[in-house]
Amino acid sequence: MINLDGHTALVTGSTMGVGRSIATTLAKAGANVIVHGLRDDQPAQETLAELKATGRDCHLITGDLSAPTMECIPSIVDQALSCRDDIDLLASNAGTYSENEFLEMEFETFDRTMKLNVYSHFFLTQAFARRWIENSVKGRVLLTGSINGRLAEQVHAAYDTSKGAVETMVKTLCVTLAPHGIRVNGMAPGLVKTPLTSPALDNADFMRWMELHTPSGEVPDASPCGAAAAFLLSDEAWHVHGQMLLVDGGMSAWQQPDPP
């Protein structure tokens, strides 16, 4: 069983979906957790209440990670450290999803996608890594990618590009930070049921298509992502560095699914 007693995690983008699954799983495994969301709203408070019910010390911070990077990152870091100054786990999960073909892509959409899906991971990790190295803390980092970092879709040009960057970032930060005792890994979910994906998955034909194109035949909720994150941040994964764990029911392994 994963045991994270004595650890404190910051999980960005954790008031719903994959991030909420990560945060709740870490708390249930014994970690103190700082939840981050865009705003202090009902989903944020519901998430915080669920985490506090585990008996762990949990807090909520807010901030827009699509704002100018060198303004929003220090704010997030300062808020988190004001809650607890012993953060040694960073699950950088906040991100955005857009449907825009390359030829119709507007700069504003591309820029916002990069800020949330790439810049926030890079500079949050940098901020905590500097602090950990200075204080001899053997921190652990998890970056949330996607199978879209390996498998492209025509209408997701910005999203696919950003998630490909995350996968390479995991490797780059690993070789930079492993000598300091800091582990960096990533998790790449396939399609899971979240508030963001529910509009598509509520369509029975689309849901059936996704099930047919997944070897396991399942499109689950976000709980497998939480379990994967807890493992990668735990002592059990002590020798796992620079890896992107795909949590996708085998979709990325299937070159050409059989017709129904």
Query: Each residue of 52-101: pLDDT tens digit?
Result: 999 999 999 999 999 999 999 999 999 999 999 999 999 999 999 888 88
Residue 260 has a pLDDT of 67
Residue 198 has pLDDT above 90, yes or no: no
Cβ pair 190, 249 in contact under 8 A: yes
Measured CA to CA in angstroms, residue 68 lies from 12, 63, 100, 198 at distances of 17, 11, 22, 30
pTM, rounded to two decimals: 0.96
Residue 1 has pLDDT above 90, yes or no: no
Residue 258 confidence class, pLDDT cut points 50, 70, 90: confident
Residue 256 has pLDDT above 90, yes or no: no
- Mean pLDDT (whole number) for 104-132: 97
Measured CA to CA in angstroms, residue 20 lies from 26, 48, 91, 238, 246 at distances of 10, 9, 11, 24, 18
* Domains defined along the chain, listed by start: 8-245 (3.40.50.720)
Residue 33 confidence class, pLDDT cut points 50, 70, 90: very high
> What pLDDT digit, counting tens, does each position of 135-171 carry?
999 999 999 999 999 999 889 999 999 999 999 999 9
- Mean pLDDT (whole number) for 199-220: 91
Cβ pair 210, 168 in contact under 8 A: no
Residue 18 has pLDDT above 70, yes or no: yes
